[in-house]
Amino acid sequence: MWCPCICCCCTSPTYQIPTAQLGVHQSFGRYLKILKPGFHIINPWSENVILVDMKTNVFDLAPQQVITKDNVSMSIQTIVYYRAIQPYKLVYKLRNDTQRIR
């Protein structure tokens, strides 16, 4: 006996990692491996993938007023460039990376 509703409810076991991103593969929340860009087969019921952007990210900080040695007041604009090097540490040891850097 064939039941069509079972096939409609199942999620696909293939997972695509886009270019310039890496995936942290987990099974029941436990680290398994780092997935490179491309197609991968995972168990959708017990495993998941967290995507990590490996591109250089840029954000502005608020302008700050500084006073030099000769008592001149200046406003300094700051731009921060950062890039993830170790996706494992970004996922497990740092929450909300942009807020932590600010």
- Is residue 3 a part of any domain in this protein? no
CA atoms of 56 and 82, how far apart (whole Å): 6
- Is residue 27 a part of any domain in this protein? yes
Summarised one tens digit per residue, pLDDT across range 38-69 is 999 988 888 889 999 899 988 888 899 999 99
pTM summary value: 0.70
> To which residue do tokens 């006996």 refer?
1
Q: What is the CATH number of the domain that holds 93?
A: 3.30.479
Average pLDDT over residues 68-81: 91
The number of domains in the chain is 1
- Is residue 1 a part of any domain in this protein? no
Q: What is the DSSP letter of 91?
A: H
Helix (H) or strand (E) holding 4: helix 4-9
- Is residue 6 a part of any domain in this protein? no
Strand-pairing partners, residue 75, are: 65
- Is residue 38 a part of any domain in this protein? yes
Domain containing 94 equals 11-101
Question: Of 51 and 3, which is predicted with more confidence?
Answer: 51
